[in-house]
Structure 1
Amino acid sequence: MLIPKLLWPLLVYEICSTTVEAIEAKINKFTRRWLGVPPGLTDVAMYCRKAMLRLPLKSILEEYKCGKARLLSMLEDSEDPVVKTVQPTIKTGRKWKVVEAAGEAKECLKIKEVVGQSQTDCQGLGSSTAKWWSKTEGKLKRDMVINEIRLSEEYRRIQKTVQQPQQGQWTNWDNALQKSLTWNEI
């Protein structure tokens, strides 16, 4: 409910990522109080998708980054010749730059294409429907870049978790069952 109303001004106006981090920290404070968890609980426990207990919360900073990447991709892939000739400048501050993040995501996707497709389940060879980077166009390519940015944010959270000895203990649990809570269960 809150995130779509908050994201629109963040995406339309030139707001730096540090401001978004401050907004998220303020919201996290109230969310922790509402959930009844200790104030020392990190944002990793609230937003991590690979945690043993997943909460139905979205990171405002992650959504901000994905929205800015989507905007950049739409401007670069525009049908309008005027928009195509002008290089888009999307200001996001000094800490995080959308052009660099989108470039890194595209490079990661190209590397995944070179490495090749790997089977993660028992369907057999050639049964996967994933499309490669060079064959994709338009919205599918944009979605792949956005998913890669989401994966990099998740990787950043996992790194933060491993660095924290007490709160990162769930990374060593092998036999624990993963549970994804819904809003009704909260």
Structure 2
Amino acid sequence: MKDTRRGAETLELASESSLAINKCGLQGKFKIWCLQFMLIPKHLWPLLVYDICSTTVDAIEAKINKYTRKWLGVPPGLSDVAMYCRKAKLKFPMECILEEYKYMRQSQITHHVGGI
């Protein structure tokens, strides 16, 4: 199976999973917990295994951000920097899928080059 197809499958899974969490009867903070500890790790695995382009990862991030903002009750115009900054005094303990993807890819390249 081609990796482009895996990218589309991962994007569809992100949409379905986010919608499923949104439909459950939990409060927003518990939906964020489900996102952070169940959904994001589930999506990071295919991104690590398959060669999925960063535009697909960006689309996955956009789908998830739509629901994240809704569950947190923040305005849609809130910057991603405000949501994912790790150095701010007031920060959300959340991971940005795109940043994690870039970090994983860089680690793979560094590890592969270092092993030669």
Match of 2:89 in 1: 52
Match of 1:108 in 2: none
Cα RMSD after superposing both structures: 1.2
Match of 1:22 in 2: 59
Displacement of 1:52 in angstroms is 3.2
Richer in helix (by share):
2
Larger-Rg structure? 1
Structure 1 segments of 4+ aligned residues over 2 angstroms from their partners? none
TM-score calculated relative to the size of structure 2: 0.63
User: How many corresponding residue pairs?
Assistant: 79
Q: Unaligned stretches of 5+ in structure 1?
A: 79-83, 85-186
Pairing partner for 1:12 from 49, 72, 75: 49
Q: Deviations over 1:146-165 (max 9, x none)?
A: xxxxxxxxxxxxxxxxxxxx
Q: Unaligned stretches of 5+ in structure 2?
A: 1-36
- Specify the code of the residue in structure 2 equivalent to 1:43: D
**% same residue:** 66
Query: Aligned equivalents of 2:82 and 2:89: distance in 1?
Result: 9
TM-score calculated relative to the size of structure 1: 0.41
Pairing partner for 1:3 from 28, 40, 53: 40
Displacement of 1:12 in angstroms is 1.1
